[in-house]
Amino acid sequence: MTLIHLGQVGELETAGVRPPRRKVVPVGDGLREGEVVVLRGPGGINVLVELRPGTTEIPGRGVVDLSGTIGQPAGTGLAWAGATYQVDRPVLSDFLAHLRRRAQIVTPKDAMYLLYLAGVGPGGRVAEAGSGSGALTTVLAYAVGDSGQVDSFERREDFLEVARQNVASAGLAGRVRFHRQDVVSDGLGAGPFDAILLDVPEPWEVLTNARSALRAGGRLATYTPTYNQLERTVRAMREHGFQDIRSLELIERELHVGDGGTRPAFDMLGHTGFLSGGRRGP
Ligand SMILES: C[S@@+](CC[C@H](N)C(=O)[O-])C[C@H]1O[C@@H](n2cnc3c(N)ncnc32)[C@H](O)[C@@H]1O
């Protein structure tokens, strides 16, 4: 019998477990009309564009004709504007680098760990509030895959529009339903969701609604910028019967790598937010 040790989470017995069947894009598939591609150029230029026949205008960069790349393998070369570009399938970091920002976003380091705390994966039914700029929405939509679904709630129409556009630019609109809704007064719908992620100023005010929209055993993850908000959130999670609660902060330090001169970068991302996660009890 094989046991995977998962630290504080406990032990998961894997005997007899078969890998689930998942819908994936075969790696060798040619680039398809209608999909979003990234043009990687000299000097770190990355441009996201929908692949369609004929010319496409790239704001600030002119016009490009991608017709000849349809059906070609991902990573194929393209001569454009006096340089050679690579036409590739974008990855999550491309989507996040191209986000239009309105509200303060969840940074990639925090977003990735929120997925872990909330147990989000392929096929997941996930809700989040608020949508803000749609950074976390994009990460969630990417993680749940074609068979999953994200419901994203936001009380401000202007933020909702930005989030909607950002998710659409990533080609992930089909995985997300946006709702203009105040989750404190109007909740997150009936669910049941496998996971709920809260990035709103007062998560503790949402817990009654969040608990009733989560399936038993479903996971909640919260993102709060101050200790005061974190403390109120965790106290409320305990009062609402959440279990296995843990809280943490992630510190990211970039390294400058040079021959014989490798050291931490001088600039460092300071404080971002505190993360908490827990599981809905019976
Ligand atoms: C920090 S932003 C979220 C950023 C987002 N997670 C991202 O990564 O782009 C917080 C958002 O929560 C929204 N919000 C605050 N209270 C809310 C509520 N009660 N119901 C719905 N949305 C709310 C705000 O309008 C704001 O857009």
For the stretch 109-125, pLDDT in tens is 999 999 999 999 999 99
Q: Report which protein residue has its CA nearest ligand 1's atom 23.
A: 130
Residue 152 CB–ligand 1 contact under 6 Å: no
The partner residues of 47 in beta bridges, in order of sequence, read 39
Going through 20-148 in order, the beta strands assigned E by DSSP cover: 36-40, 46-50, 55-58, 62-65, 76-80, 83-88, 125-129
For residue 25, pLDDT beyond 60: no
Nearest in space to 167 (alpha carbons), one of 210, 120, 135: 135
Residue 166 CB–ligand 1 contact under 6 Å: no
Answer yes or no: are the C-beta atoms of 92 and 167 closer than 8 Å.
no
Answer yes or no: are the C-beta atoms of 280 and 118 closer than 8 Å.
no
Residue 154 CB–ligand 1 contact under 6 Å: yes
Residue 200 CB–ligand 1 contact under 6 Å: yes
For residue 198, pLDDT beyond 60: yes
Equal fold, 36-90 vs 95-280: no
Residue 94 CB–ligand 1 contact under 6 Å: no
For residue 138, pLDDT beyond 90: yes
Mutation probe of ligand 1 site: the residue of 131, 151, 205 with most atoms within 8 A of C-beta: 131
Structure tokens that stand for 25 in this block: 């894009």
* Amino acid identity at 279: R
Answer yes or no: are the C-beta atoms of 62 and 94 closer than 8 Å.
no
What single DSSP character describes residue 21? P
Hey, which CATH number is domain 95-280, 3.40.50.150, 3.40.109.10, 3.30.930.10, 2.40.110.10? Answer: 3.40.50.150
Domain positions in the chain are 36-90, 95-280
CATH architecture of 36-90: Roll (3.10)
For the stretch 32-56, pLDDT in tens is 999 999 999 998 889 999 999 999 9
pLDDT the model gives residue 28 = 62
CA 206 – ligand 1 centroid, Å: 12
For the stretch 206-237, pLDDT in tens is 999 999 999 999 999 999 999 999 999 999 99
Residue 273 CB–ligand 1 contact under 6 Å: no
Residue 106 CA, closest ligand 1 atom number: 8
For residue 26, pLDDT beyond 70: no
